[in-house]
Structure 1
Amino acid sequence: MNNSLTVVIPYWNGEDLLKDVIQNALLLNPIEVIVVKPENKNVDSTELTFNKKIIFVDCNKVNSPYDKAFTKARGEILLFIDGNNLNNMNELLTFIKPIATGNSDLVLNDLSQLLMKGEVLSPLMVWCQNINEIVGLREFGISNILSFPFAIKKRSVPSLKMENPIVSYFELIQKGAKVSKSFVTPSEGLLKVRPFSHEEESIYTNWILDALGQWLEIKGKRGALSDGGKRLDILEDLKIKKGLLNCKSGWGTQSSLYKGKKLSIIIPAQDEELTIGEVIQESRKLEPYEIIVVVNGSTDKTAEIAKNHGATVVEYHERLGHNVGRSIGAYISKGDILLFIDSDFPIKTKELLPFATSLCNGVDMALNDLNGLLPIQYPLHNVSAFKYGLNILCAKEFLGIGSLLAVPHAISRSCLEHIGFESLACPSLAQVKAIEGGYTVSCVQQVDVLRPNKMRPEQHLGSYTHGGSRQYVLEKIYADPNYTSNKVRFENHKPIQKGWGYFSSLYQGKQLSVIIAAQNAEQTIEQVIREARKIEPLEIIVVLTGSTDNTEEVVKKLGVTLFVFKENIGLGQARYIGAISSKADIINFVDPSQKGQTPAEQRIIGDHLEAISHFIQHRKTTNN
């Protein structure tokens, strides 16, 4: 194998370290050192300009510094290092060796080691995390091809071009390239992580958008992710006035609270007989013109109770899928202000009122401000990263993770008519359309919907970042009717082996339990368990349900606490058993698959990709 090395050194501003960086690079014995410099800058060093190994290449705003060097390089291995940052030579060798030995095609800088837990993430870092999520490399976090140093095998890039490094990154992943991470100690911490300027960040954002556009053209507007079975056909029928609604009208009030405007409250519901009455009663205090409950897929008395409380009730026997009920409620509503809430827990009137009144004072789309509860900091949940990333693309960074995905939220009638009631089935798309239409979108009030929100195991558990305090998780479990009916099984089943763990200092005096519910995961579970060890859990509990492959044999060798059910009890119940048997203060549910996305995460990320796809197309149309 040809292991010839080219070192590429882009630099942007200042030459304070450039000479030392080049001299350090020469110690790696490359066949050449390519210095990519701004075309208006000259290097004032006779020693450098007369060295035949050193090649200077000019770059302007039009040309990618990556591509200028990539096309010129003669080496089979290219090491990109920052001309404004002096790295340790031995650390740089750890980027080259995996490629030289055939173990990797691309070695990225492990930026996660630069970040302290709770540190604020820049917009670019958030989008680098999103890109890794999209291509199935969640474990790479914010590590990316936009951060130096990184090393790449030249022939691994199918196009042999690097006009847009993010496009090249997508190409590499699609072709099955082997990607790994290494680490260099920066001389000045995060100050030496690119980009330095707003201008650079703007260039990077354009690269990201262009790469996403190409990726989504190949994979489809949702990036090949499921929408969770949304009945969009019903909405299409309503658009052309073909749909028939099974609707029972209720009663309401013409209030003086909203400057002559009418308030419609819309509540989608499924099997919420225990809470729907209280939710409607609390909502009445807002003096709505109408309360619309869209009941779908229910097998209990939700619809009957809602009717008894005077709500307008629309019934569908089948499940409609997430957010379709909100679209139908908006379709039949008559109010000027549409307030959307959930049916599984009541929200106090004083918390809901600002959403409605803000629409009387210039706001068109009022969002729940969850930024104080879920700050944009490391490590950032994948769904939060996409919410923030979408707002960044729309030049609404100030919204943070503000999203139409979270209740409560409110929409003006004029805004609804612009975006179309059917777009509410994809909340992120509706939000983008409102912003594009020039409507005012604002986070108006913080309502903690995280703690009271119902846990739905098959939808919400399974990622590396989902879980919570043991007390919180157990409260959710004990409130689930499935727990009551299977209490003996949950509490009395014993593990076939007990494992080992760490007494960690990472969690501010608390300890962590990792729980993995799995079925037929022999190909991936060992890697998942080994990754989980890195976060120093007190215990790793694996609950196998109905496995017919060698998962049990694989897991037994890995020092975990192991429960085995020969019959398939379902992953939700398996997680419950793991949680109930856990001993630590914090519970982290981990998916046994490598990608680790739960059904809910796939649906939500798919919604955001659909919104991004629309945004890119709208941007092209506007620019043309």
Structure 2
Amino acid sequence: MTDSLSIIIPAKNEQLSLPDVLDGISSSCSPLEIIVVDDGSTDETAKVAARDGVKVISHPYSKGNGAAIKAGVRAAKGDILLFMDADGQHDPQDIPRLLAKLNEGFDLVVGSRQKGSQANVGRGVANKVYNWLASYMTGHKVADLTSGFRVARAKKFREFLSLLPNGFSYPTTSTMAFFRAGYSVAYEAIHAGRRDGKSHIRPLKDGIRFLLIIFKIGTLYSPLKLFFPLSLLPLLMGIGYYIFTYISVGRFTNMSALLFTTAILIFLMGLVSEQITQLMYQESDSGDDRVEEAQGDQSSK
């Protein structure tokens, strides 16, 4: 499978750790190509990446981790895409195991970080919440929703390229998109080591952004499964308050009306989001079909 494997490594100011990552890849497998996307680094990241067998794509300024992933995917020639970080957290020796799992018939294999992997308490709790919510939304056990160490079939990954954000949440989006499309997703246990260098995650700003991911998880899969339970809370409160006011003062109050209205609005938001999500994936499928038709026309000529 390595003959058709493209390894994509987004990197920003990783001149210290990147050489060891590239050496580790060379000792573990022989991919078709290695693509390092330098996302506006201010150090020598692009220079240390420039070696035989490595294609370097440099952004003039930082566009985000997701944007680097998309640039790498567009340039990749392989039928199999493997994504890993440049900071030394992902062990290249795990690559053969991820590929072997993919070869069992899966479309996406995610490296699932086990207990003891490097992460602070806040991120660990957030990841558990994401995993639980994603498992509820999909009906399948999601072992690690946000791991950036993953391998996928290129043709299917490209179907969702336009859906991927430019920031750090591309793993979440791609995983939920694969589930939503009915593709096979598997997990392979890995140990993520301590990162080299300084983390690019900012606790306050990214903490707010990570909270928004929770709602993004719902809208990427089935919004009604998220919005319907949320609408039950004001509905039950409205019923309870109506019973209380009917017994105590014998009338229907404005507060009960407000709670009932809120419940209806939340439900309708979920219903509309469900239709938008359906259209979004239909457009993605149609776009993929048009690409295949164009490729077929070119080959016939």
Q: TM-score range by the shorter chain?
A: 0.5 to 0.7
* Contact 1:351–1:445, Cα closer than 8 Å, also in 2: no
Picking from 66, 72, 77, the partner of 1:323 is: 66
**Which position in structure 2 is the counterpart of 1:351?**
94
Cα deviation code 1:209-239 (max 9, x no counterpart): xxxxxxxxxxxxxxxxxxxxxxxxxxxxxxx
**Which position in structure 1 is the counterpart of 2:38?**
295
Shift of 1:357: 2.4
Aligned equivalents of 2:211 and 2:3: distance in 1? 35
Shift of 1:308: 2.7
Shift of 1:455: 4.5
Cα deviation code 1:68-93 (max 9, x no counterpart): xxxxxxxxxxxxxxxxxxxxxxxxxx
Structure label with greater radius of gyration = 1
SS of match in other structure, 1:268? strand
* Contact 1:327–1:424, Cα closer than 8 Å, also in 2: no
Aligned equivalents of 1:457 and 1:316: distance in 2? 17
Shift of 1:368: 1.7
**Which position in structure 2 is the counterpart of 1:113?**
none
Verify: 1:305 aligned to 2:22, yes or no. no
Shift of 1:371: 4.7
**Which position in structure 2 is the counterpart of 1:276?**
18
Aligned equivalents of 1:605 and 1:351: distance in 2? 30
Shift of 1:407: 2.9
Picking from 185, 206, 222, the partner of 1:600 is: 206
How high is the TM-score relative to the length of structure 2?
0.65
SS of match in other structure, 1:381? helix
**Which position in structure 2 is the counterpart of 1:111?**
none
Question: Runs (4+) of structure 1 moved beyond 4 Å?
Answer: none
**Which position in structure 1 is the counterpart of 2:221?**
615
1:423 to 1:457, Cα distance in 2 relative to 1, 3 A: closer
Cα deviation code 1:540-598 (max 9, x no counterpart): xxxxxxxxxxxxxxxxxxxxxxxxxxxxxxxxxxxxxxxxxxxxxxxxxxxxxxxxxx2
**Which position in structure 1 is the counterpart of 2:172?**
428
How high is the TM-score relative to the length of structure 1?
0.33
**Which position in structure 1 is the counterpart of 2:149?**
408
Where in structure 2 are the equivalents of 1:452-491 lying within 5 Å? 452=195, 454-456=197-199, 459-460=202-203
Aligned equivalents of 1:453 and 1:417: distance in 2? 30
Q: Which amino acid aligns with 1:299?
A: T
Picking from 166, 186, 191, the partner of 1:447 is: 191
Aligned equivalents of 1:457 and 1:321: distance in 2? 10
* Contact 1:263–1:356, Cα closer than 8 Å, also in 2: no
Aligned equivalents of 1:311 and 1:457: distance in 2? 24
1:371 to 1:305, Cα distance in 2 relative to 1, 3 A: closer
Aligned equivalents of 2:224 and 2:152: distance in 1? 22
Cα deviation code 1:215-266 (max 9, x no counterpart): xxxxxxxxxxxxxxxxxxxxxxxxxxxxxxxxxxxxxxxxxxx2x8501100
Aligned equivalents of 2:81 and 2:188: distance in 1? 15
* Contact 2:17–2:88, Cα closer than 8 Å, also in 1: yes
Shift of 1:309: 4.5
**Which position in structure 2 is the counterpart of 1:381?**
125
Where in structure 2 are the equivalents of 1:179-578 lying within 5 Å? 258=1, 262-285=4-27, 286-345=29-88, 347-373=90-116, 381-396=125-140, 398-400=141-143, 402-403=144-145, 405-420=146-161, 422-423=163-164, 425=166, 426-449=170-193, 451-452=194-195, 454-456=197-199, 459-460=202-203
Where in structure 2 are the equivalents of 1:20-31 lying within 5 Å? none
Q: Which amino acid aligns with 1:447?
A: H
Instruction: Name structure 1 gaps, 5 residues minimum.
Output: 1-257, 461-597
Shift of 1:439: 0.9
Aligned equivalents of 2:134 and 2:38: distance in 1? 31
Where in structure 2 are the equivalents of 1:76-115 lying within 5 Å? none
Aligned equivalents of 1:441 and 1:453: distance in 2? 29
1:458 to 1:438, Cα distance in 2 relative to 1, 3 A: closer
1:350 to 1:280, Cα distance in 2 relative to 1, 3 A: closer
Shift of 1:381: 1.0
1:290 to 1:421, Cα distance in 2 relative to 1, 3 A: farther
Shift of 1:441: 0.8
Shift of 1:312: 0.6
Aligned equivalents of 2:48 and 2:91: distance in 1? 20
Aligned equivalents of 1:423 and 1:458: distance in 2? 18
Shift of 1:453: 5.8
Aligned equivalents of 1:307 and 1:277: distance in 2? 10
* Contact 1:435–1:441, Cα closer than 8 Å, also in 2: yes
Aligned equivalents of 1:309 and 1:342: distance in 2? 20
SS of match in other structure, 2:82? strand
Q: Which amino acid aligns with 2:47?
A: E
SS of match in other structure, 2:56? strand
Q: Which has the higher helix share?
A: 2
SS of match in other structure, 2:58? strand
Aligned equivalents of 1:300 and 1:438: distance in 2? 42
Shift of 1:364: 1.1
SS of match in other structure, 1:323? helix
* Contact 1:281–1:309, Cα closer than 8 Å, also in 2: no
Q: Which amino acid aligns with 1:437?
A: A
1:394 to 1:444, Cα distance in 2 relative to 1, 3 A: same
Higher relative contact order (CA 8 A, sep 6+): 2
SS of match in other structure, 1:304? helix
